[in-house]
Every structure is written in structure tokens, then in C-alpha cells.
Amino acid sequence: MLFSTLQKNKKKFIAYNDFRKNIFLQNSVKDAPVILYMLPWLLSVNRLSVPGYIKDLKEPFHVFNIENEREILKKEVFYKRMYEIREEKSLIRQSYRGLSIHGLYTIGSVGTISQTSHSDCDIWICYDRNDYDDKSLLFLNQKLNIIKDWMDAHLKMPVYFFLSDISDIRKCNFGNMDFESCGSTQRNVLKEEFYRTAIMICGKIPFWWLCYDDENTVNYDKELENYLLSDMGAPDVIDLGNLEQVEQNEYYGAALWQFNKSLTHPLKSIIKMLQLKMFLESSEEELLCHKFRRLILSAGDKDDFTEPSLFTMSSILDYYAENSREEYFKFIKKFFYLRYDFKMLSKKQTLKEILAADIFKKYKIDRADIYELNEFESWQLQKHIHFGSLMLDFLKEIYKDIVRIQKGKGREIDPQDLKIMGRKLSSSIEKKNHKVEVLHTPVERIKLPVFTFANSGKVWLVNSSDDPSQTVIINEDIIYCLAYIVWNGIYEPVQTRMLPNHSSVTMQEIINLGKTIKEVFGSYNITSVHFGNFLEEEKVIKMLIVISFDNASINMDISDFCVIYKNNWEELFVRRFNSLDKMKAFFEKVGKESRNLDTQFYIQRSNKYYEKIIERTKSFVTRMLASA
């Protein structure tokens, strides 16, 4: 491989990297400059007034080549003024005693058309462990934590640092990336995504990006050695390892991981599920990152670059246009449209609509559908729920196809994986006695209507202000109705109302109990549950005992109990007991299956026997559980 080819590739990569930075700067006008320019500066200075100061650090850390970054040097004047530093000389001149940080790199959607207002920013902080002793590595961790705290307080975009030893990256050791030690690993899948989506914030160029010749096959290790030993070579590259292929079982493991994430809010993961299914069905194809590198490094002199999300979107749509049913493909186009937050046909066209225009000319979406999708954030709750259910059905079909593909290619599927995912799916969709049903909304944050509780004879209803004709939940137990909206993440005290009725329940008590349920159980989030839980038998792990919530009785003889409980599979149940004997039988059964239960109690504060009833109930429950 000629040295001139390496130099040409380097020049092209730097131009492409600047192209990506510019997209990021347009996507995040306020946050991107802090991440692209201020972050390397913060890491490379150590002054008392500057975020990231470490008292006992003798020499500042040094991000490679920061002293030659023109944009950072220009902005340093402002940074020094901000922190009242009067020195005229730059603070980021290289120190031969300072420990080097080889590079800072983003991975994922930032600086692409798939970046939205809800995107976060994952950053790899790459260092060589051989250069650091335990004390200096501790200092680096401390500095990163302080800087992250500062960023959390000042940036809208969440930023996450991943301190990464370059030798671990070469070996694809990314920590505990498998199914919490319970499934198929996905190490090379992550490296493929890194090479395809990374922005070099500051530091060394990944040699993988330079090691390409469109006319000849190249040997990565040999070319790297030649480059570093040559007189023309410079220490401006970083060896993060080559990537020739990804094993089938890694795609399968990554697909199961994405399916796990999709069970709570599917829109964020469905594109990756489609991508991984495509990889599994065409595993002999050239890696997507290789195709993308060739496209970038072969771009003309005008540097007419594409960006990775657009390239990935185009590749997936091209594939499914040929390999899926028409109705199936219509949904895929809508998923991309919503996931990337496009607003085609709107008066204001942003960079992402301009860049994606050709794709939507090729794969058209009906104008009526576009106008409807543009109003996605304003959809009524029931419409979100309906679309979320359709997405879940779609995801289940993808999952079935992925399992079929894996078996069809003679690959052994880990029985634990199937058990875990089967039970997770059951937790999300299976109906059980007393279980609070799970709503499947497409995204985590939706515009919430006002919910109004109403009593109609023997039942309670909750209606929403965006469509009063549709009942959100109906049940004879008001506590079940309240647990339903809390568990499904659609409860907000300020958005809660109650119509006048003959019950003894007040609006304030609904708000108080709703807050308590949320504090005790949170909202449904299957992805937060440890995979090992699904290899255990079902058992109760947490309970809230509600005493005489909607009973006007104020005497000590209480016999009206409601138990809200959660099991280790992230299922919530609500059971009402109108006698101590029935509740006794329930607790005896629970006590046999569960130990060390987290049990809490709730009774209206207005009850004048509050303390005595609470103590009496605690004593009763403790005895029942202990005797089981």
C-alpha cells in the first residue's frame, strides 16, 4: 500500500470528520461546541477555578494534538476569561510529564440525521493502561466524574463517558456487554457501530479508517507496522484493531439485547432490530462499516459526503424493499420517519430533511401519512397506545424471524436466552388475574392529557381530556385504576382530576396515594430487571398494603385491605381483601415463596386511629409471613 494512499485517506477522513462535526454543531447549537471544543480543553488543564480540577495532580492530562487544534485555541481565550485566568500563554501546550489521552470519540447518533432532541452522547475516552499507574488512573476517573457533573448541570444533552483502554478495544473487550453474563456476546457488533458512526472529537485517527485501498487488498497489521516505522509516518494514528467480520451468534446476541430494550418503548430499538435481522439474513455480505468507509474515502474532490445514519437507513430500506411484504415495508418507512424525527413537507426544512429528500423520493410515503406523522407528538393517548401495540406485534414477528434464522443456519441457541426472553415477553403482554396491564407506547415521553376519575355506581372510570369518549381504564377498584396509570408512566398529579361523587375518596387522597405508589414501585421498565431474575421462579419482592382507602369508617375495626405487589419479573398486581382470613391465606402463600419482602403501608392521614391501625397491620403481616 503506497504511502500516498494513506495520506490521501487521512486527508479524506479529516474532511469527513469535519463534515460530521458541522452536522453536530447544527443539530445542537449550544451543547455541541462544549463537547467538541471545551471538553478536550477541560481534560487538558488543571486549574482550581476550572471544572475537573484535581488538587494532587502534578501535571495536567494531555489530549493528543490539542495544542494544534485551531478552533480550541481560538476558544481558549473565552474559556480563560470565563474562569478568570489571566495568563496570556495557552494552558494546553504539551507537557512531556503529563499523561496522554490518545483520543476522544463519539459513538452513535450524534452528528447524524438520526440525532433528535432526546439523543444522548456517548464518548469513548481512549488511553493506554500501560502509561498509567493506579493513582493516575484514579485521578483520571475523578476528573471525568467532576466534568460530567458539570456537564449534567449545564448541558441539555446527556453525556456519558466510557474510559476505554486501547488494548481492550483492540480485543473487543468492552466490559460486561453480554446479557449480564447470561447470553450471547456482541463485542464486534459494537466495534462495527463505532467505526461506522464515530466522530473524532480530538486526538489520533483510528488507523482502520486509513487502511484502505480501492484497488488492492491490504493487510492491516503489516500496513500499521510499516506506517509507524517509516520516516514519513507520524504518531497521529491509534490502533483500535482491525475488523474483518462479525460472527452470526454476535448478531443474534445483539438482536436479543435490542429486543429486551424494545419491550418498554419500542421506537428507539426497532431500527436496530431491523438492521440486525438484515445482517443475520445476509451474514456473508460485506460489513456495513466497510461499505461506508469505501463510500467516504472514494468521495470526489468536492467532499460530497454522506453521513452514517442516512447510509444505514438507505441500506436497510434497499434491503427490505426487496425482502419484505408491501404492508410490512410501509411500516418500516414510518418507523424510520418517526425514529429520525423527520418533518417532510413542513415550512421549515432542516438539514436532516434536505439530506434525506432523495431517499423519500425513492421510497415515498403518502402525503396524508406524512402530515399525520408530523403531528406524532400531539397524537391522542389512545392513538399512541394503538401504534405502540402495532409496533410490539411487529417486533415479535422480527424476534420470531431472528430465532428461526439462527436455528435454520444450524446455530445452537442458548436455552437460557430463550427462557429469559420468553419470560420477559410474557411479563410485557400476558394477562393474569389481578395483574396491572402494560401499555406499550412508542416512546418514553408523550404529551399527557388530563385524567379524570369518575364513579359510576359500582365501577370507577378514568377518562382522558384528549378523547372523553374513550375510557382509559375501568375497574370496580379505584386503587387498581390509580395503579394502572402510575405503572404505565402516565400519571402526573397536576394532570389529575375527579368528578363529584358519593364516595369518601378525595382528590387529595388520590394524589397522595398516586405519589406513594410511584415512590414504592416506580413505573414499568422491563429493561431495568436483571436477566438472572428470569431464570428464577416467580416471587413477590415488594408490597404496599393500603388500608381502608375508600371506606369512610373511622373506627379501629378495619377489615378492608388492598395489597399492591410486584414480582421479580416486573409484573404489578392489585388484590382487594374484605376479610382478615382471606388476606391471611394470601400472606401464607407469599411467605412460602418469598423472603425479605420490602413491605410498606398506607392509610389516610385523616384517620384518627392512623398510628394504631398501621402498627396493628404491620404486626399481623409480620406474623403471617414469619409463620409461612
* Digit-coded pLDDT (tens) for 576-611: 887 777 878 888 888 777 777 888 888 766 555 556
pLDDT at 319: 96
- 89-114 confidence digits (pLDDT tens): 999 876 666 799 999 999 999 999 99
Measured CA to CA in angstroms, residue 274 lies from 254, 266, 271, 625 at distances of 12, 12, 5, 47
Name the pTM for this structure: 0.87
**CA 61 – CA 203 distance, rounded (Å):** 13
pLDDT at 207: 96
Residues in the chain, overall count: 628
CB atoms within 10 A of CB 40: 24
**CA 1 – CA 447 distance, rounded (Å):** 56
Residues in a beta bridge with 290: none
Better pLDDT: 470 or 329: 329
Task: For the chain, give the percent of residues with pLDDT over 90.
Answer: 57
> Which triple of cell numbers denotes residue 569?
419479573
Confidence of residue 75 (pLDDT cuts 50, 70, 90): very high
Pairing of strands 62-63, 467-475: unpaired
Identity of residue 445: R
pLDDT of residue 174 exceeding 90? no
| Residue among 476, 472, 547, 475 at smallest CA distance from 509 | 547
Residues in a beta bridge with 159: 121
